[in-house]
Amino acid sequence: MDTKLFFGSAAGFQTSTLAVFAVDVTAGKDAEPQPMLLTKLDEVTSAASLALQSGEFKAALGETLLIHAPAGLKAGRLLIVGLGKVNDLSVDQVRKGAGTAVRAAKPRSVREMAIVFPEAGVLADQPADDLSAMLTARAMAEGAKLANMDWDTYRSERKDASVHSLTIVAGETGPSLVQEIQTGFDVGLIVAAAQNFARSLVNEPGNVLTPTELGARAKAMCDEAGLKCEVHSSAKLQELKMEAFWAVAKGSAEPPALIVMTYEPKGGAKKDAPVLGLVGKGITFDTGGISIKPADGMEKMKYDMAGAAAMIGAMHAIARLKPAVKVIGVVCSAENMPDGKAFKPGDVVTAMSGTTVEIVNTDAEGRLVLADGLHYAKTLGCTHLINAATLTGACVVALGLLNFGIFSNDDATYEKFVAALKISGEKGWRLPCTDDYRDHIKSQIADIMNTGKNRYGGAISAAMFLKEFAGETPWVHLDIAGCAWNEESKPWIAYGPSGIAVRSILEWVRSYSA
């Protein structure tokens, strides 16, 4: 999608479809909805007035109303897009609104459109925070680009229904606001491209996206973006004594991939400056191994590499946004298969850190590959670690599909991540991993075991396992099992890979930029 900014009047802007946001300004629960446009432009308000008075449009989030040949406007159509109650208004609603506009246009064969930038001060009399112009512009660019994707690449009757050209129309404003909007917009395009790249990886079936192929795609991205990238396989795992990672990998005919992507800030990293490690679970297909999963729903396990995709996507944006902090992305990719050579329950392996692990369930493979990934990141000099993984069904049971689980061994690092969530608009909820849970992973046979002693608090047991390998290094663990795949489409986003965590991880990285 070709995306542009235009500073001038929306009334005179020539476009097939002009979208404008509306909020519901009623306060009470039972009051009739009262839509209000986020522009005071006379031509737009009068073109919309009859339709708004009709009462058919409530300005709910994701709701749209289309007016043909709106009088007084150069646009062929006026699309009114609801953002929900004014009290709930945030930049994230704007992101979803821009997405809704694009997804309403796609099936109507609209290939070129425009969206009106919310007018400054229009909410001045309302109980809403005034939206930051920079974050609003960024959210609009992100929402529109994310919404333009549909994951039908493998359907032969597929027709391209995407919007090819989108203009965000901001009124004429002073140079400082223009600069703010331009900056936010530029960042938004980069972030959305990175998230869409991550989504495209997650969408690939396991027969196409093997660990080797994931490595090749990460390498191609890094070459293009100017990042250093090394892709290792079985021999390197042996050399580094990554027995935990290798245990998972060895049952597959597909060799594993250890992907290391390095971003150096301009002028090199300063001495004693933080080095951030981004570690991703890249299981390109999880059968469960010898502890095999039931057939029902197993096809979903192609997205068991969504944590890896989030890190590769984040590195893509980091290369382009150039924060002043060194970042190393480590992806541990393998296929978890049952086989004569596969690892078995009862096996004991020694992780790269020297910790011995009793394998109780081969379906708890993610924590094994991450154990070596986290330890390896430390040996590369990482001072702060973040990992993302579709790690446990238990986390999905605990938090549902809306929030990913957040675990951390360090409150300050966790707080930085929470601040990042505010900007990304993504949702996560902290769960505990305090030392009193250490019991969960105690083994009679080895130092630790790879499951909890019972089913209770399964997401926490997995986090306790990872914490063992983070050690004293400040660390955040994201369990994204419930959020990596959109089980239903929404007005602003398609069914399929979500690209969750790319935006939050990126924002967390940027918060360390000196």
Binding site for ligand BES (CB under 6 A): 286, 304, 361, 363-366, 390-394, 396, 451, 458, 481
What is the phi/psi pair of residue 57, to 5°?
-110, 125
Minimum CB distance to Zn ion smaller for 24 or for 286: 286
Identify the DSSP state of 145.
H
With the C-alpha atoms ordered 203, 205, 208, 213, is the resulting torsion angle positive or negative? positive
Cβ neighbourhood burial of 40 (10 Å; 0-12, 13-18, 19+): exposed
Q: Which does 425 bind (CB under 5 to 8 A by kind): ligand BES, Zn ion, none?
A: none
Decide whether 171 or 393 has the Cβ nearer to Zn ion. 393
458 interacts with Zn ion by CB under 5 A: no
Q: Is 372 in the site for Zn ion (CB under 5 A)?
A: no
Total count of residues recorded for the chain: 514
Residue 293 is a catalytic residue: yes
Scanning 42-50, 210-218, 301-309, 375-383 for contacts with Zn ion by CB under 5 A, the matching segment is 301-309
Q: Report the nearest approach of Zn ion to the CB of residue 341 (Å).
A: 18
SS3 for 204-238 is: CCCCCCCHHHHHHHHHHHHHHHCCEEEEECHHHHH
Q: Which is nearer to Zn ion, 303 or 508 (CB)?
A: 303
Nearest to 337 by CA among 291, 280, 387: 291
* Cα–Cα distance measured from residue 197 to residue 219, given in angstroms and rounded to the nearest whole number: 13
Q: Give least dist CB 29 to ligand BES, A.
A: 36
Which option in Zn ion, ligand BES, none does residue 234 bind, with CB closer than 5 to 8 A by kind? Answer: none
Least distance (Å) between residue 303 CB and ligand BES = 7
For ligand BES, give the closer residue by CB, 167 or 403.
Answer: 403
Q: What is the DSSP letter of 499?
A: -
Q: What does the alpha-carbon distance between residue 401 and residue 202 come to, in Å, rounded to a whole number?
A: 17
Minimum distance of ligand BES from residue 363's CB (angstroms)? 4
- Residue 27, token pair as written in the block: 């306060």
* Closer to ligand BES by Cβ: residue 355 or 451: 451
Residue 396 contact among ligand BES, Zn ion, none, beta carbon within 5 to 8 Å by kind: ligand BES
List C-alpha distances in Å: 423 to 91, 134, 418, 465, 511.
Answer: 8, 11, 9, 30, 11
The item of ligand BES, Zn ion, none sharing an interface with residue 63, based on CB under 5 to 8 Å by kind, is none
Q: How far is the CB of 408 from ligand BES (least distance, A)?
A: 20
Query: Which position among 103, 217, 367, 378 bears the catalytic label?
Result: 367
Catalytic residue among 293, 422, 430, 510: 293
Please name every residue paired with 477 in a beta bridge, in sequence order, or none if there are none. 387, 407
Question: Of the candidates 187, 243, 247, 251, which has an alpha carbon nearest to the alpha carbon of residue 506?
Answer: 187
For the CB of residue 504, give the shortest distance to Zn ion in the complex, in Å: 21
Q: If contact means CB under 5 to 8 A according to the sort of partner, which of ligand BES, Zn ion, none does residue 372 touch? A: none
Q: Least Å distance between CB 302 and ligand BES?
A: 10
Q: Which two tokens stand for residue 6?
A: 């235009």
Binding at 392: pick from ligand BES, Zn ion, none (beta carbon under 5-8 Å per type): ligand BES
Choose the binding region for Zn ion from 223-231, 249-257, 357-365, 414-422 (rule: CB under 5 A). Answer: 357-365
Task: State yes or no: is 367 an active-site residue.
Answer: yes
- The answer for residues whose C-beta is within 8 angstroms of residue 328's C-beta and 6 or more apart is 260, 261, 262, 263, 275, 276, 277, 278, 377, 380, 381, 382
Whose Cβ is closer to ligand BES: residue 228's or residue 453's?
A: 453
Map residue 64 onto helix, strand or coil: strand
Q: 281 has which bridge partners?
A: 332
* Residue 304 engages Zn ion in binding (rule: CB under 5 A): yes
The answer to whether residue 363 forms part of the interface with Zn ion (CB under 5 A) is yes
| 157 close to 201: Cβ distance less than 8 angstroms | no
Q: Which is nearer to ligand BES, 243 or 363 (CB)?
A: 363
Does the protein bind Zn ion through residue 366 (CB under 5 A)?
yes
Helix (H, G, I), strand (E, B) or coil at 170: strand
Both tokens of 72, joined, read 């007084």
Q: Does 479 bind Zn ion (CB under 5 A)?
A: no
Least distance between ligand BES and beta carbon 371 (Å): 13
Query: Binding segment for Zn ion among 55-63, 64-72, 261-269, 281-289 (CB under 5 A)?
Result: 281-289
Give the span between the Cα atoms of 466 and 390, in whole angstroms: 13
b/e code 93-107 from CB counts within 10 Å (16+ = b): bbbbbbbbbbbbbbe
- Give residue number: closest CB to ligand BES: 393
User: In whole angstroms, what is the distance from residue 446 CA to residue 346 CA?
Assistant: 10
**Which H helix or E strand runs over 498?**
none
| 78 phi/psi in degrees, rounded to 5 | -115, 120
Residue 424: contacted member of ligand BES, Zn ion, none (CB under 5 to 8 Å, by partner type)? none
Question: Is 95 or 281 the residue whose CB approaches ligand BES more closely?
Answer: 281
Q: Does 507 bind Zn ion (CB under 5 A)?
A: no
SS3 state of residue 52? helix
Minimum Å distance from CB 310 to ligand BES? Answer: 14
Instruction: Give the whole-angstrom CA distance, residue 427 versus residue 504.
Output: 9
Nearer to ligand BES, 350 or 361 (CB): 361
**Residues labelled catalytic:** 293, 367
Q: Which residues bind Zn ion (CB under 5 A)?
A: 283, 286, 304, 363, 365-366
